[in-house]
Amino acid sequence: MKISIERAALLKAVSQAQSVVERRNTIPILANVLIEAEGEAVSFRATDLDIEVVDKTLAQVERAGATTVSAVLLHEIVRKLPDGALVQLTDDGASGRLTVEAGRSNFSLATLPREDFPVMATSEYTANFTASAVVLRRLFDKSKFAISTEETRYYLNGVFMHIADAEGGKVLRCVATDGHRLARIDADLPEGAADMPGVIVPRKTVGELRKLLEDDDVQIAVSVSETKVRFATPEITLTSKVIDGTFPDYTRVIPAGNTRKLEVDAAEFAKAVDRVSTVSSERSRAVKLSLDEDRLVLSVNAPDSGAAEEELAVAYGDERLEIGFNAKYLLEIASQVDRENAVFMFNSAGDPTLMREGNDTSAVYVVMPMRV
């Protein structure tokens, strides 16, 4: 195999591949990226047996072939090469070495045979549809903060992507929760998605998917089956196993009868929460919200470090209410608001609180209160 490729194109392809590779693994081949050169293109494939990413890019292929080489090592080398360099990758097969040449730099890297590289089994997808990067980015970005990190409740370690019924008909919905907070984001149902089975997309996949969604104009081809999900752009294909479990019935925890309405400038609210929570003890990080007519007082009382309070002008017309929350959860939820105003719907100090952006019901958040 012998190819010449521009440094920028190589770096983009290799960085996507090396981020999938697990740093600590017992199977040496899984630390490698599979490089396959054919025609006028070269593809870089990496896997951790749960996720597989294939990045295709144009190159001058003088001699077709394939080999595998350490993904992290190749990435580090390419990253340190000068901008605009033309990189030559040569593998003669017999020596078990891949030569990387650029200008006056020359590296010789150990390779492993491509036959040992595990390729993810292809599967039949029950639903195939196309969605714009903007739509998918909103669905996953706004929900991923609520993904649980508890290994015991493994079925919460991802985003539940499924078709749901909303007021205006069927929607494509992403839900994530960790038992303390919940995010439910809706988007218009793409054509061809109606038969899609509900799947739990793992946290690592959500992180990798984000890299495919940087460009607003890109259309993403999405394929879903009971066991796998695939996201593809013209250059990159990301295939992942889904979490094998049943996502709980989240509709039961979304309160429908909350009547006390607070409207507040989201950015001001987030800054105020951040300021008062500075004095709170790390463990509980509790912030108390005291609501009175058109007035909100945020207060923190930490016996060992001090106290803080801040008053905000808000729109609130119901009876007095005192309710406590974890400051981190409030900050994360407030930072999801794109528009100016966040609308909080309360019931009582012990019931879950609902938050949405203005009158928009396509993004709904629920947060559980704390005793303060």
Q: What is the pLDDT of residues 233-269, one digit of tens each?
A: 999 999 999 999 999 999 999 999 999 999 999 999 9
What per-residue confidence (pLDDT) applies to 23? 83
The H or E element that residue 140 is part of is helix 133-141
Residue 14 contacts residue 77 (beta carbons within 8 Å) = no
Average pLDDT score over residue span 90-104: 91
pLDDT tens readout for residues 347-367: 999 999 999 998 888 999 999
pTM of the model: 0.92
Angle between helices 7-20 and 203-210 (to 10 degrees): 170
What per-residue confidence (pLDDT) applies to 292? 95
22 token code pair: 């697990």
Q: Is the pLDDT of residue 165 over 80?
A: yes
Average pLDDT score over residue span 46-75: 95
d(CA 90, CA 98): 6
What per-residue confidence (pLDDT) applies to 119? 87
The rounded percent of the chain whose pLDDT value lies above 70 is 99
For 157-190, the DSSP string reads: SEEEEEEEEETTEEEEEEEEE-SSEEEEEEEEPP
Q: Is the pLDDT of residue 85 over 90?
A: yes
pLDDT tens readout for residues 211-241: 999 989 999 999 999 999 999 999 999 999 9
pLDDT tens readout for residues 101-150: 999 999 999 999 999 999 888 889 999 999 999 999 999 999 999 999 99
What per-residue confidence (pLDDT) applies to 329? 93
Q: Is the pLDDT of residue 372 over 80?
A: no
Question: For residue 288, which of 371, 166, 177, 182 has the smallest C-alpha distance?
Answer: 371
Average pLDDT score over residue span 69-75: 95
What per-residue confidence (pLDDT) applies to 49? 94
370 token code pair: 């704390």
Mean pLDDT of the chain: 93
Average pLDDT score over residue span 3-29: 92
Average pLDDT score over residue span 34-57: 95
Residue 284: which pLDDT band, with cuts at 50, 70 and 90? low
d(CA 26, CA 24): 7
Query: Which residues fall within 8 angstroms of residue 68, CB to CB, at 6 or more apart?
Result: 29, 32, 33, 34, 35, 111, 112, 113, 114, 116, 117
What per-residue confidence (pLDDT) applies to 95? 86
d(CA 36, CA 57): 11
pLDDT tens readout for residues 10-19: 999 999 989 9
For the chain, what's the residue count? 372
- 221: helix, strand or coil: strand
* Neighbour tally for 350: CB within 10 Å: 9
What per-residue confidence (pLDDT) applies to 232? 96
Average pLDDT score over residue span 200-204: 97
What per-residue confidence (pLDDT) applies to 280? 82
pLDDT tens readout for residues 299-319: 998 888 889 999 999 999 999
